[in-house]
Structure 1
């Protein structure tokens, strides 16, 4: 057997070339989301999964380094959507699919939705409830088996019997059974604690409760409170013991107030939020995730004959379009806001629409982008890892073809997507050497 020995200097040179390759991203415009301003002619240097520097001017490294020419684009941190449902997507057959789709069907569909979301520029999402497939999908993406955004997932939402997330709503009585905490249905404090613990055991990163009725469930009411205060307190206290947050789906005001009193981390939707509730949220530091796009979408779909069952149609018409007005009031009052859309209620990949709706009622363009980057990272408690383009952060980087500070609609035109240093999308007209 022939043995080849390399000298120390040669081995060091080989290893150095292998591990020192960097990527230089030359950005014509770069959005500084920490200070809400657009910088010109910048270079981001990426090594492995991380950003190692961000500097003025167009820089390049050695011949072995890669240059990505985004001089005609606007570069920004990877976007974050704090409220999606990656397992499903709206359609006139969505209620029938509860009975016709197997778990494998849900899983294969979710692969498509996850990749679509990533290609739309969203490198991190919070999945706000599904069947448990969302947990497996999160793990598959993290392991590099499939393409998709980084997922923070709630697993299965928690509701009382007959509540918005009771999975047996609207089915025949012989199919209803009596679901309990193991599937997120609770009645009383003991059930509340067990349901949280079960979701943590299943692998959930965050707990989602339906603090009020909802629009798309086949149940009569869309806004009344659904938890007693002691049940809410028990959910939040138990989650806090595990070091995880609780998010509250809520349309009605009373359910929001009970949630804030209990110490909820975020209010989702917030349709009928009063000024009193806004002030309570400001005092408590509670986040608001508006999901305007979902409201606008369900109101539109409700006008299509047969798209929704009759109870859902009535709620969609009454509640849907109000979210944008509430968002405008909450923003002007000073409530903390993180970007969220409820994608799945409308087609995945159209998440950009939220930027348009937010800016229509007074939020400046760059501040809207900030809610989907830095603010999302803060909500997750991950601001030391993601959300800004700075040295030491994960290389989650996207680019759009226009200038979103001048025209927010260009957020639809994502031409480049990198997550943790890996390029997933690069429109051919943009240079890469």
Structure 2
């Protein structure tokens, strides 16, 4: 949902209480992504394990189980008062920011089932080498978002506008992907004699490190969001970090798909090298666009298109200048995670994620200890860069230890 968040931010920035609404939306979405990320690895799981009817049904059973768990957790967090405790006590957010954060959580409640289902069919499409359909699905989602946001904006103001637009547009995208996947799904459904389909509990063991890695990644974002919130009680730093995080999703979020690309297509060293070259080419283009926005067209894009006020633009400027370093490590990490997944060595992915979490906790503790950091958005990006660099070192060590990249 990389570009979706940036579009939402542009609409929310035009509301009367833009700072607190952006802060609440960013806070609520960070908590949702932490819980909802339990269902975000389905595309990789499906592309690696679905080979026939039995494995497809097993993956669907697994997906529905995870989706029900996510929805239940969100309901418990919302209605037990736990979310309010997290936002007010740990994040030190104001009552109005907490209200918008809870509002966001409520309106993205159905999203886990939708994204989980979408992931399975995206994995099936990737397995069938029909990735252009996945790209077209993103276009469908963006188009739906541009249709829904003005409608909801006309009904009222609040973070619910962005949350409901995200839920609605992803639902439309999922229906499109499901419709377009009917032919490869038909071939899978008619395959009754697949060899050694993975049983449910073996699938759980295989998937857990991947899910854990995704979950920890979003836990890191949630922790950094909390740190930034404590550094900026007025909400300005958190609003800035929310916008910056949207740009991170926009320009470098797509590299998460490199993990699935390696799993599906890297059937040899040369194939892997071609994927790395493609990733490097895309990284150069995205980074040039990002730096262009920051240093050449900031008034047009940030002030004109997104509607940010000049104070917020000045707040996020140093953080945006450093985002390229985040992108280098983020893209490299997902390429190496793809190798580990293809080798069925998902344990390496889990170990690197634990190390990454420890780096966030240590860097965050030091940041809060110094306590006089005025730019929360910059502090948040620096912590994220440290976390990605730490994970990069662990994954690189694991791959070098295998000797020949272990591509099979």
Fold in common (TM above 0.5): no
More helix by share: 2
Larger Rg computed on CA atoms: 1
More strand by share: 1
Which structure has the higher relative contact order (CA within 8 Å, separation 6+)? 2
Normalised by the length of structure 2, the TM-score is: 0.29
